[in-house]
């Protein structure tokens, strides 16, 4: 069973916003940090930010500050990532990945990815 | 932030051959906090190595990681057809976590 299940493909226009989800499957996120990363063509993997699922605290990469918001819903064991003011440079596959509280931040399981297309 | 440079960019090999993938850091990585991931199109990335040399659960022992400081290596002793993919190294010693640009392991 896939531990993290992400929402489906998104197509947005430049300037729009997108909100994608990541849901725990067969367990809860309570003792995990959930991170968001993206893989853009020709640009490799890039860390976007993270949320402490229990406390709700967030940290964002500097390059996304002011444009990204990560939230969580404890009732559904889901995490959301909203990215605003989209540009063509935001076209990528976005992944959520988990890190146990007590461990350093390497990612033992990832979601299957949400592909974002930005097109006018 | 720590910049990771992977080499080669593409490695063309045949099943049964061995592969050596390199990851070099711009600054020394403390505590060997380096991981390797495999990415295949349409699939979730998969953790292969953490702590520079510890295999993740379910990873075959033909995969091994080594190195310290600035230089790290992922070695695959005998390539199987399912090993052909893109491999990324990641440092998690110094925030923000950063990744190399990837090595594509392709069928010759």
Q: Per 3-state DSSP, what percentage of chain B is helix, strand, and coil (rounded to 5)?
A: 5, 55, 40
Q: Using CA atoms, how far apart are residues A52 and A43, in angstroms rounded to an integer?
A: 27
Partner residue facing B99 (CB), from A44, A112, A113: A44
Q: How do residues A15-26 score in pLDDT, each as one tens digit?
A: 999 999 999 887
Asked if omega into B85 is within 30° of 0 (cis), the reply is no
The pLDDT mean for chain B works out to 96
Q: How do residues B19-36 score in pLDDT, each as one tens digit?
A: 999 999 999 999 999 999
pLDDT at A1 (0 to 100): 62
Left if phi > 0, otherwise alpha if psi is -120 to 50, otherwise beta: which for B101?
alpha
pLDDT at B53 exceeding the cut of 90: yes
Closest-CA residue of B relative to A35 is B97
| DSSP at A61 | -
Task: Pull the structure tokens for residue B28.
Answer: 């020394």
B7 shares contact with chain A (CB less than 8 Å): no
Q: Chain B neighbours among A 8-47 (CB < 8 Å)?
A: 39, 44-47
Q: How do residues A6-64 score in pLDDT, each as one tens digit?
A: 999 999 999 999 999 999 887 778 889 999 999 998 888 999 999 999 899 999 999 99
Asked if omega into B96 is within 30° of 0 (cis), the reply is yes
Q: How do residues A73-115 score in pLDDT, each as one tens digit?
A: 988 899 999 999 999 999 999 999 999 988 999 999 999 999 9
Contact A113 B44 (CB under 8 A): yes
Per-residue CA distances from A81 to A6, A16, A29, A97, B98 (Å): 11, 14, 15, 12, 20
A49 shares contact with chain B (CB less than 8 Å): no
pLDDT at A31 (0 to 100): 87
């Amino acid at each position: 069973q896939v531990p993290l299940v992400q929402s489906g493909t998104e197509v947005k226009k430049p300037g729009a916003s997108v909100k994608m989800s990541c849901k725990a499957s067969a367990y809860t996120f309570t003792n995990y940090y959930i991170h968001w990363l993206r893989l853009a063509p020709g640009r490799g993997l890039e860390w976007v930010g993270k949320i402490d699922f229990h406390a709700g605290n967030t940290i964002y990469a500097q390059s996304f500050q002011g444009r990204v918001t990560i939230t969580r819903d404890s009732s559904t064991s889901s995490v959301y990532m909203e990215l605003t003011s989209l540009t063509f440079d935001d076209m990528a596959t976005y992944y959520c990945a988990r890190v146990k509280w007590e461990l350093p931040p390497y990612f033992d399981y990832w979601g299957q990815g949400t592909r974002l297309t930005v097109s006018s | 932030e720590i910049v990771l440079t992977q080499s080669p960019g593409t490695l063309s090999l045949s099943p049964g051959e061995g592969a050596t993938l390199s990851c070099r850091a711009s600054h020394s990585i403390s505590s060997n906090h380096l991981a390797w991931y495999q990415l295949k199109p349409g699939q979730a990335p998969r953790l292969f190595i953490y702590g520079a040399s510890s295999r993740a659960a379910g990873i075959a022992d033909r995969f091994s990681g080594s190195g310290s400081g600035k230089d790290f290596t992922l070695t695959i002793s005998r390539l199987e057809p399912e090993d052909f993919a893109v491999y990324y190294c990641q440092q998690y010693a110094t925030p923000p976590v950063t990744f190399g640009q990837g090595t594509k392991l392709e069928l010759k």
